[in-house]
Amino acid sequence: MKSLSILGATGSIGSNALEIIRQFPDRFTVIALTAKTQVALLARQIVEFTPRLAAVVDADHARQLRALLPPALDVEIVFGEAGYVEAATCRETDMVLGAMVGSAGLVPTLAAIDAGKDIALANKETLVMAGAIVMEKIAVRGVKLMPVDSEHSAIFQSMAGHGHHGIREILLTASGGPFLNRPAEEFTSITPRDALRHPNWSMGSKITIDSATLMNKGLEVIEARWLFDIDFSRIKVVVHPQSIVHSMVSYQDGAVMAQMGVPDMKGAIAYGLSHPGRLPLDVPSPDFAHIGQLTFETPDRARFPCLSLAYRAGEQGGTLPAVLNAANEVAVAAFLDNRLPFLGIYQIVDQTLNRHCANTGSDLGQLIEADRWARETALALIHRQER
């Protein structure tokens, strides 16, 4: 029996994880669940999975949550960053599923590692911001870090039995998002509604926009650099619109190992939770004759310049990846709020990076300060555009 704390239980990854846990009650038990503000859904999850602790963003939402629960239900409700840390470090918890969105996941994830918990990590922003710190802590504490992002789960699986030895390149596949074939001159008219319509994957709104700009792939390049300790020059992105090949690893003898599956996050989540075993899931294998063709192409960095921004920030390192990530979070939120055009996301991130005095030091304090500075700067740039 594995005891789990799920950070971001009410999101797309969190809900999928709970669906898996529901199917395997003899394998998993839930110790803690967290959400930001979706208290009605969290209350239903608490009633069903009976965690002993739940955390939400603030005291007000904690009160709302309490009011929604049967008075006899024995669950401690906490809030704020300290509450999320409590959820991530419960004494009984074996593994923490990091499925919050954005940099909010960083501090609870670090606390979980410090407390000796194994980690299944979907929250890629944590590794983008502070990959060096996370990986060092993982090594020092000797805990397990399982990638949940489908590409990184695929790379992990493609390395099984080979390890790091003889790797030539990592090939991250990208669906290309909803605008793969849209001409550049039509990008100015893209609305949040258009961008939220992902062709293959059903995900939370932030990552769906990141997929449309290809920033998601850029964040994943940085994520791969840390998870697999490989230089940026050996991480390549290849567009694969069918999203069947989840990613690949090429070896020095020319062999390429790939992991395939239908585009359903349940596979990668379940593998993260159950490794080294595999769970009997109700996910079909790809029907190759029906699919017919698997195609691959080079990403168009002129139409999707966010990819180059992420390589630039990742290669320069220091505080730049944290700045890239924070500026992107702010810009995506403004786009979803109809306060910034689609192309403005790239512009705001680029301008924020250009204004940043890159700090080569990158202790946690410096990264958190860089995150704060980038949010403030990106917001000011957006306000200036609005005037």
Rule CB under 6 A: which residues touch ligand NDP? Answer: 8-14, 35-38, 57, 99-102, 104, 122-125, 149, 201, 203-204, 206-207, 265
Angstrom CA distances, 52 to 27, 30, 77, 177, 252, stand at 18, 8, 9, 39, 50
Q: What residue 326 binds from Mg ion, ligand NDP, none (CB within 5 to 8 A, per partner kind)?
A: none
User: Phi/psi at 378 (nearest 5 deg)?
Assistant: -65, -40
| Pick from 176, 106, 149, 96: nearest CA to 368 | 106
39 vs 133 by CB, closer to ligand NDP: 39
161 in helix, strand or coil? Answer: coil
CB 263 within 8 A of CB 176: no
Q: Find the Cα–Cα–Cα–Cα dihedral 216, 339, 319, 104, rounded to 10°.
A: -70
Q: Is the peptide bond before 199 cis (omega within 30 degrees of 0)?
A: no
Question: Nearest residue to ligand NDP, using CB?
Answer: 11
> From the CB of 255, what's the least distance to ligand NDP, in Å?
27
Beta carbon nearer to ligand NDP, 80 or 341: 80
Q: What angle do CA 180, 241, 172 make, to 5 degrees?
A: 100
Q: Which does 17 bind (CB under 5 to 8 A by kind): Mg ion, ligand NDP, none?
A: none
Q: In whole angstroms, what is the distance from residue 32 CA to residue 113 CA?
A: 16
Smallest separation, CB 149 to Mg ion (Å) = 4
- The residue (of 12 and 34) whose beta carbon lies closer to Mg ion is 12
- Closer CB to ligand NDP, residue 149 or residue 359? 149
- Choose the one of Mg ion, ligand NDP, none that binds residue 151, judging by a C-beta under 5 to 8 angstroms depending on kind: Mg ion
Of residues 118 and 220, the one with the C-beta less far from ligand NDP: 220
Residue 111 Cβ, how far from ligand NDP at the closest point, in Å?
14
Residues near Mg ion (CB under 5 A) are: 149-151
Provide, rounded to whole angstroms, the least separation between the CB of residue 356 and ligand NDP.
22
